[in-house]
A and B are shown apart, each in its own frame.
Chain A
Amino acid sequence: MAKAAAKKSAAAAPSVERRPALAGQELSATGVTLAVLPPAERISLRAPDASVAALSKALGVTLPQKPKTSAAKAGRTALWLGPDEWLVIDEVGKVPLADCAEVTVLHSAVVISHRNVAISVTGPAAAATINSGCPQDLSLDAFPVGAASRTILGKVEIVLLRTASDAFRVECWRSFSDYVFTFLSEAARDAAA
């Protein structure tokens, strides 16, 4: 597969400042806390079934093949988004694209580290906050810890990952992050009800 810019990623450090969207924003309300998470490495990984084993090995995390699930290992999480699609998030600074570049099986890996912004929603009213604009059933039975899904929040698309019974990671595209954070902030005001 094409390696794109992957191999060059080890080169010189940037001489300019990285300015992530909404960096450091937080909000607390009764029962729920919102926080914009630090940048992470991300790829959109696409591959047929036959490539899954090799890619899992290279990434060090088993790509889940069951809908609405995720797998995590050593700061790296792979979210099933579709039958041939995973969102791989690395929160410890390792570059999943570089790992995929070592693999020769059929796949597509595209860097989207900067495309997405992540917001954590935690606390007993976390699910209620998200359900203010997300039409999925977020009960623990329907959306257990580790569940992951692309879905809707208000008028935008998000990727939702349940990281604990009372904690979610909400990922959205960069330019929608302001809307998503504002929406969650509004919802948080009323989530304890």
Chain B
Amino acid sequence: MIAAFRIPGAGRLRQAETASFSFDGHSYAGVEGDTLASALLANGVHLIGRSFKYHRPRGFLSAGAEEPNALVEIKRDSARKTPNVRATVQELYDGLAAQSQNRWPSLSFDVSALGDIASPLLSAGFYYKTFMWPKSAWKNFYEPKIRAAAGLGVAPDQADPDHYSARFAHCDVLVLGGGAAGIAAALAAAETGVRVILVDEQAEFGGSLHFESGAKIDRQDGFAWAQSAVAKLKTMDNVRVLSRTTAFGYYAQNFVGLVERVSDHLQNPGRDLPRERLWQVRAKRVVLATGAIERHMVFADNDRPGIMLASAARTYLNHYGVTVGRNVGVYTANDSAYAAAIDLKKAGVGVAAIVDLRDNPTGPVIEEARALGIEVNFGRAVIRAGGKLRVSSMTVQPKNGGGERTIPVDAILMSAGWTPSVHLFSQSRGKVAFNDETKRFVPGAYAQDCVSVGACNGTDGLSATIDEAYAAGAKAAKDVGANAKGNKPKVDASENWSRGMLGAAPGAGADTTVKAFVDFQNDVTAKDIRQAVHEGMRSIEHVKRFTTNGMATDQGKTSNMHGLAIAAETLGKPIPQVGLTTFRAPYTPVTFGSIVGHARGPLFDPTRKTAIHPWAERQGAVFEDVGQWKRAWYFPKAGEDMHAAVDRECVTVRKTAGLFDASTLGKIEVVGPDAAKFMELLYTNPWEKLEPGRCRYGIMLREDGFIYDDGVVGRLAPDRFHVTTTTGGAPRVMNHMEDYLQTEFPHLNVWLTSITEQWAVIAVQGPKSRDIIAPLVEGIDMSDEALPHMSVREGRICGVPTRLFRMSFTGERGFEVNVPADYGQAVWEALWAEGQKHGACAYGTEAMHVLRAEKGYIIVGQDTDGTVTPNDAGLDWAVGKKKTDFVGIRGMVRPDLVANGRKQLVGLKTKDPKVVLEEGAQIVGDSKQAIPMTMIGHVTSSYWSENCGRSIALALVAGGRDRMGETLYVPMPNATIEVEVTGMVFFDEKGERLNG
């Protein structure tokens, strides 16, 4: 059954193809190709939402993306609820379920609408002037109330099951906007063979040809021409045509963000289709063909449902076959609304009257309206609208005052003129210029390689538009080196509109109780803007922020120019002097999902795993995140908690041996005849005399003298070093080294290669470590004489090449076995099997931390924090005293870096050996002092040491090395802990176990 307001045969939809849908629980029938808006209007539903502040009933203002009122929630299922969807954009599908928002208990009876009655109190910026007493009431009472009343829809509360896709694209000519201008520009460019992308936000191309019944191009109806032209473009290999795609952001150097809505219009999108697709396009040239947006008239109660833009009513009729009323009134200040009246009249709809604010307009549309018998009133204004949930009348008065006349209507179509859509142009950092004659901002100075054509450029008339657009498309192609050879579309008939007005019409009145809306969604009225000016707001940005004009979800597409004009008039200044607010991305709201694209779940950030990871996983290891790496933290056996596991691991390592996956350590191969010279400059230590086959612990500083990284470096050959870095520091250390090599020391013949991932590294530490490794090694003499502590050899293990380091981060005899990564797991398993014979364990990063702390070995980034010098850390011994240069040599002797009283790294023992300090706890000298206390340091590392049978800690303490034996205090919330300052070595102070 055809809906009541659908006119049989009218429009372009196939009216037999029906789709059922619901709104607020009521079922309706629509037609395929409808928007939710056109389908509701076909059913006579105008009441669609409530406004933000006053909760006034609202209907559809527009038929497009500029819609401020018709925001609904679309619910596919419990996880796929989308708030604030514009019903004028949402395409209908069978089964669509929509709900109104921001009302309680129902759309037609909304309790909060009482705010409308209290509205005189809720003037612009009222909240800045009250709610201040008593002080606590803001947070506890007023703010929660305001918050509950504000907001529009309801945020989803479940993880989104849909997915979002992304694509980078490049083209020669990007055409934004697929109306007549955009299509013409795309045709011109495409015919030259250059790569073209044509984009339009609507489901079908054509732009204003959707409603312009008077346009004829190449002997076709304008809309039909658009379809055939786009069909032709789609067949061309060099052209990509994107519908339902919004260009939301124009960034530097012709980089444009597009969001394509892929499946929101489908009944069953299926699992593979993304919901949306982000296109990030780099274009050599951009053609902006973004059209213009009609403005409403600003008069009293101009927000009643049924009052809408004239072009919207025309779109609903000419495209969707829907009439917005039976007896419509028209209120206009320009010609375009006449066409709406004429089309409706011709479709059999009653047109009560046209009210034209202009005194003596002339032109063919006016003649035609008269000829059709429509009442036309010049020099008159609609001073208010009647009705509440639906407009019921318009009251007309001569614009300079006089007798009122009330005309019953069920819809009012308005047009104050057209605002060129310069949003993207402005985002491109182009400067708009005000044309005083046509009262519009149009593109002025360009900042990027782009050009505006058609209505967005202030070009009137289809013929002129197509001429301009085609030429621009051809020129864009020519600019990138191709010449046009096609045929320009010929305009056979077109509509021509003259100007309009900006600001408040007489009906916005001096009457202070009148609500003449400028910004519908945010409930900003003409008098709010005047009030802002009276309160000293002279910049349009202040007016905007004070009144919130243009800050709603439509971002002022219909309201900005009116607001500006009213502010200018109130200030008594010309419009350009008051200025236009900045246009910011996005053009229309875009989902977070479309921006995020693939970067969710496992693709949020790479998870790096070592070659040995699967083994650790099988052993039930618990992992910790270190940068992007997953590292085995500890290996609990059945029934063990972390504490028990770590204690066992620590004891086992010192008793027999332990295996540790050290693969994540950064590794850099430094190769070239000047390798040692380079090392001398990048590390504090001396390197020239390090024998090949030997290792040294190196410290790297930043130029400011603070410790940047550390690690053991092995010299494999006179010209080859194997450098290790911290896990997290690997990329930045490499960058730091490259920076100096390329820009400060380019004369050095040396190259750097990251080999972090070439080698899996298995640390075998403990008295039995050699016994475990030796049986598997070939070609390396493992004796203490041949392979002393801090040495490195190349050979084979399990038949696989290895770089075998003898080194220790535990204080025990120890080795680090480097093998090619793909062999890492198998070599680990072989070592594990050997280890089992000796009772060895696998240990994780926590035990590693404890073991090294027992020996007072520091961890850069934990015991140092970017403000610690080598001296502070007790590492002066690692600074080459005879060196004349290295990075950091000057920075580390700045006055405050060598001053007395600096924080120095020391050991701490709690008086009660059972008490384990908290890492990060602060240290004071006087525990009795009042807060704020003077803090003299903090605990950097702290553990229970099963090997020492007590807790141990490292700390940075002011003048720490002069405080040996001193008692200090760690005040905790419940108790103050007494500690004694000690040396940093807690276990095997003489270091005998390195060879034990």
Give me the interface of A with B, judged by CB distance under 8 Å. Answer: 1-5, 8-9, 11-21, 39, 44, 46, 48, 84, 106, 108-116, 128, 131-137, 139, 142, 154-156, 173-176, 178-179, 182-183, 186-187, 189-190, 193
Nearest CB in chain A: distance from B894 CB, A:
36
Q: Inside 8 A of B757's CB, which chain A residues have their CB?
A: 114-116, 173-175
Q: Inside 8 A of A17's CB, which chain B residues have their CB?
A: 823, 826
Given A137-B170, A142-B170, verify A108-B753 contact (CB < 8 Å): yes
Q: Inside 8 A of A174's CB, which chain B residues have their CB?
A: 611, 757, 821
The reply to whether B720 and A179 form a contact with Cβ atoms under 8 Å apart is no
The reply to whether B720 and A2 form a contact with Cβ atoms under 8 Å apart is yes
Which chain B residue shows the least CB distance to A18? B822
Q: Is B433 an interface residue (CB 8 A)?
A: no
A114 to B163, CA, bound (A): 34
A112 to B755, CA, bound (A): 7
Q: Inside 8 A of A116's CB, which chain B residues have their CB?
A: 757
Which chain A residue shows the least CB distance to B242? A193
The reply to whether B717 and A115 form a contact with Cβ atoms under 8 Å apart is no
The reply to whether A18 and B758 form a contact with Cβ atoms under 8 Å apart is no
Given contacts A4-B794, A14-B799, 4 further A-B contacts (CB under 8 A): A5-B803, A8-B801, A14-B800, A108-B751
Q: Inside 8 A of B753's CB, which chain A residues have their CB?
A: 44, 46, 108, 110, 112
Q: Inside 8 A of B673's CB, which chain A residues have their CB?
A: 106
Q: Is B442 an interface residue (CB 8 A)?
A: no
A173 to B756, CA, bound (A): 9
- Can you list 24 A-B contacts (CB < 8 A)? A1-B671, A2-B719, A11-B778, A12-B799, A14-B799, A15-B799, A16-B798, A19-B825, A21-B611, A106-B672, A108-B751, A111-B758, A115-B757, A128-B167, A131-B168, A132-B165, A155-B603, A155-B606, A173-B757, A174-B821, A175-B608, A179-B602, A182-B603, A189-B272
* A110 CB contact (under 8 Å) in B163, B605, B671, B823: B671
Q: Inside 8 A of B166's CB, which chain A residues have their CB?
A: 132-133
**Chain A interface main SS type:** loop
Q: Is B640 an interface residue (CB 8 A)?
A: no
A9 to B779, CA, bound (A): 13
Nearest CB in chain A: distance from B776 CB, A:
8
Q: Inside 8 A of B669's CB, which chain A residues have their CB?
A: 108, 110
Given A12-B778, A16-B798, verify A176-B822 contact (CB < 8 Å): no
The reply to whether A4 and B720 form a contact with Cβ atoms under 8 Å apart is yes
A174 to B663, CA, bound (A): 12
A20 to B778, CA, bound (A): 23
Q: Inside 8 A of A46's CB, which chain B residues have their CB?
A: 671, 751, 753
Inter-chain contact count A-B, CB under 8 Å?
Answer: 174
A189 to B269, CA, bound (A): 14
Q: Is B967 an interface residue (CB 8 A)?
A: no
Spot the interface stretch: B50-58, B274-282, B454-462, B648-656.
B274-282
Residues 588-604 of B at the A interface (beta carbon under 8 Å): 598-599, 602-603
The reply to whether A4 and B716 form a contact with Cβ atoms under 8 Å apart is yes
The reply to whether A182 and B830 form a contact with Cβ atoms under 8 Å apart is no
Q: Is B23 an interface residue (CB 8 A)?
A: no
Nearest CB in chain B: distance from A91 CB, A:
16
* A21 CB contact (under 8 Å) in B758, B759, B822, B829: B822
A108 to B820, CA, bound (A): 19
The reply to whether A175 and B717 form a contact with Cβ atoms under 8 Å apart is no
* A179 CB contact (under 8 Å) in B603, B759, B799, B826: B603
Given A155-B599, A175-B610, A178-B607, verify A110-B801 contact (CB < 8 Å): no
A21 to B825, CA, bound (A): 11
* A135 CB contact (under 8 Å) in B280, B719, B751: B280
Which chain B residue shows the least CB distance to A193? B277
Given A133-B166, A139-B195, A178-B607, verify A15-B598 contact (CB < 8 Å): no
Nearest CB in chain A: distance from B860 CB, A:
22
A39 to B280, CA, bound (A): 34
Q: Inside 8 A of B236's CB, which chain A residues have their CB?
A: none
The reply to whether A113 and B758 form a contact with Cβ atoms under 8 Å apart is yes
Q: Inside 8 A of B751's CB, which chain A residues have their CB?
A: 46, 84, 108
Q: Is B827 an interface residue (CB 8 A)?
A: yes
A114 to B823, CA, bound (A): 9
Q: Is B609 an interface residue (CB 8 A)?
A: yes
Which chain B residue shows the least CB distance to A142? B170
* A18 CB contact (under 8 Å) in B750, B756, B826: B826
Q: Is B629 an interface residue (CB 8 A)?
A: yes
Q: Is B326 an interface residue (CB 8 A)?
A: no
Q: Is B893 an interface residue (CB 8 A)?
A: no
A79 to B610, CA, bound (A): 27
- Among B195, B273, B798, B801, max chain A CB count under 10 A is at B801
Q: Inside 8 A of A2's CB, which chain B residues have their CB?
A: 671, 716-720
Q: Inside 8 A of A175's CB, which chain B residues have their CB?
A: 606, 608-610, 629, 757
A139 to B193, CA, bound (A): 14
Residues 572-622 of B at the A interface (beta carbon under 8 Å): 598-599, 602-603, 605-611
Which chain B residue shows the least CB distance to A176? B606
Q: Inside 8 A of A136's CB, which chain B residues have their CB?
A: 168
Contact mask for chain B residues 630-669; partner A; CB cutoff 8 A; 1 contact, 0 none: 0000000000000000000000000000000000000001
Q: Is B169 an interface residue (CB 8 A)?
A: yes
A132 to B749, CA, bound (A): 39
Residues 877-895 of B at the A interface (beta carbon under 8 Å): none
Which chain B residue shows the least CB distance to A182? B602
The reply to whether B609 and A112 form a contact with Cβ atoms under 8 Å apart is no
The reply to whether B717 and A186 form a contact with Cβ atoms under 8 Å apart is no
A3 to B692, CA, bound (A): 13
Q: Inside 8 A of A110's CB, which chain B residues have their CB?
A: 669, 671, 753, 755, 758
Nearest CB in chain B: distance from A55 CB, A:
13
* A16 CB contact (under 8 Å) in B749, B821, B829: B829
The reply to whether B794 and A5 form a contact with Cβ atoms under 8 Å apart is yes
* A13 CB contact (under 8 Å) in B168, B273, B719, B799: B799
The reply to whether A134 and B799 form a contact with Cβ atoms under 8 Å apart is no
Nearest CB in chain B: distance from A117 CB, A:
9
* A154 CB contact (under 8 Å) in B598, B610, B778: B598
Nearest CB in chain A: distance from B401 CB, A:
61
Nearest CB in chain B: distance from A10 CB, A:
11
The reply to whether A183 and B280 form a contact with Cβ atoms under 8 Å apart is no
Residues 752-793 of B at the A interface (beta carbon under 8 Å): 753-759, 778-779
A108 to B759, CA, bound (A): 18
Contact mask for chain B residues 793-822; partner A; CB cutoff 8 A; 1 contact, 0 none: 011101111010000000000000000111
Contact mask for chain B residues 155-166; partner A; CB cutoff 8 A; 1 contact, 0 none: 000000001011
Nearest CB in chain A: distance from B235 CB, A:
17
Nearest CB in chain B: distance from A20 CB, A:
5
Q: Inside 8 A of B801's CB, which chain A residues have their CB?
A: 5, 8-9
Q: Inside 8 A of A5's CB, which chain B residues have their CB?
A: 794, 801, 803
A108 to B778, CA, bound (A): 27
Which chain A residue shows the least CB distance to B600? A186
The reply to whether B717 and A183 form a contact with Cβ atoms under 8 Å apart is no
The reply to whether B822 and A19 form a contact with Cβ atoms under 8 Å apart is yes
A154 to B716, CA, bound (A): 36
Nearest CB in chain B: distance from A82 CB, A:
10
The reply to whether A179 and B606 form a contact with Cβ atoms under 8 Å apart is yes
A9 to B800, CA, bound (A): 9
A2 to B671, CA, bound (A): 8
Nearest CB in chain B: distance from A163 CB, A:
21
Given A137-B170, A139-B195, verify A190-B758 contact (CB < 8 Å): no
- Which 7 interchain pairs have the tightest Cβ spacing? A16-B826, A175-B608, A46-B751, A2-B717, A108-B671, A179-B606, A108-B751
Residues 224-283 of B at the A interface (beta carbon under 8 Å): 262, 272-274, 277, 280, 282
Q: Inside 8 A of A84's CB, which chain B residues have their CB?
A: 751
Nearest CB in chain A: distance from B946 CB, A:
33
Which chain B residue shows the least CB distance to A131? B168
Nearest CB in chain A: distance from B822 CB, A:
5
Q: Inside 8 A of B794's CB, which chain A residues have their CB?
A: 4-5, 8
A2 to B749, CA, bound (A): 13
- Among A5, A9, A110, A128, max chain B CB count under 10 A is at A110
